[in-house]
Amino acid sequence: MTTTIHLHHCVSARSFRPLWLLEELQQPYELHMLPFPPRVHARPFLELNPLGTVPLLVHGGVRMTESGAICQYLAGLHPRAGLDVLPADPAYGAYLNWLHMSDATLTFPQTLVLRYSRFESAERLQPQVVEDYGRWFLSRLRAVETAVAQAETLCAGRFTAADVAVGYALLLAQHLGLAERFGPATAAYWQRLQARPGYQRAQAAQHAAALAQGVDPTPSPDLRLA
């Protein structure tokens, strides 16, 4: 008997990374939708994850809360799907670098944009922080622009979990109104990612699960354009 994968998720939050990867892998899972932020609107979730953050992935005795690590874990469990890059592959280092860069370097400045444009009370909003960290994010996208100007995907000459992890930063940038400032190669790459059936299935899955579980299916006001 296979062990069920449980993914705790908020619409269009970082937990979209593992959701998208599960759809690319075409593996079964149970999706548990939460209102955003769960810390405020779903207090019992704190018993499962004291941080109150999503994703939370539970797979038998395995419990994970970092979206990049979950992508690596799931891709590694299903090597025949080809979304993983093995240590013997010359692209292994680049693969790990993109997986880690996706959150530590790319989503991190976006979090400051979110916080100081949406999360804080009116008197604590910081337009200068929003502009500075928006620009910082865009300058860090130069790594992506350079890579996808030369190839269809980030590494290994094929679509991997790294494209899912970095692709989510592009989705969040779109919600933040930063996508118009993508370089041409990044904009074309983002179009290719959105055209993937796995990406579209993940979007459809979160929408259907939100409706079925009584959660607002639109991204939280904190995650979409004001």
Ligand X SMILES: N[C@@H](CCC(=O)N[C@@H](CS)C(=O)NCC(=O)O)C(=O)O
CA dist 29 and 181 (Å) reads: 35
Q: Which of residues 168-197 bind ligand X (CB under 6 A)?
A: none
Shortest reach from residue 23's CB to ligand X, in Å: 18
Find where tokens 């592959």 sit: 89
Tell me how far, at minimum, the Cβ of 201 lies from ligand X, in Å: 20
53 binds ligand X (CB under 6 A): yes
Answer for which of 7, 8, 11, 14 binds ligand X (CB under 6 A) is 14
The CB-of-80 to ligand X minimum distance in angstroms stands at 26
Rounded Cα–Cα distance for residues 178 and 65 (Å)? 26
Q: Where are the alpha helices (DSSP H) in 102-196?
A: 108-114, 127-140, 142-150, 161-175, 184-194
100 vs 191 by CB, closer to ligand X: 100
* 37 makes contact with ligand X (CB under 6 A): yes
User: Shortest Cβ distance from residue 30 to ligand X (Å)?
Assistant: 19
Those residues with Cβ within 8 angstroms of residue 23's Cβ, 6 or more apart along the chain or in another chain = 198, 199, 201, 202, 205
Which residue among 6, 39, 41, 224 contacts ligand X (CB under 6 A)?
39
Which pair of tokens denotes residue 151? 């190839």
What are the angstrom distances between the C-alpha of 117 and each of 52, 97, 102, 111?
21, 29, 21, 10
Residue 220 found at the interface with ligand X (CB under 6 A): no
Number of residues located near ligand X, criterion CB under 6 A: 12
33 and 206 Cβ atoms separated by less than 8 Å: yes
Structure token digits, residue 79: 């090597």
Is 32 an interacting residue with respect to ligand X (CB under 6 A)?
no
| The one among 7, 13, 56, 141 contacting ligand X by CB under 6 A | 13
By CB under 6 A, is residue 52 in contact with ligand X? yes
The single residue among 41, 48, 66, 143 that binds ligand X, judged by CB under 6 A, is 66
**Contact footprint for ligand X (CB under 6 A):** 13-14, 37, 39, 52-55, 66-68, 103
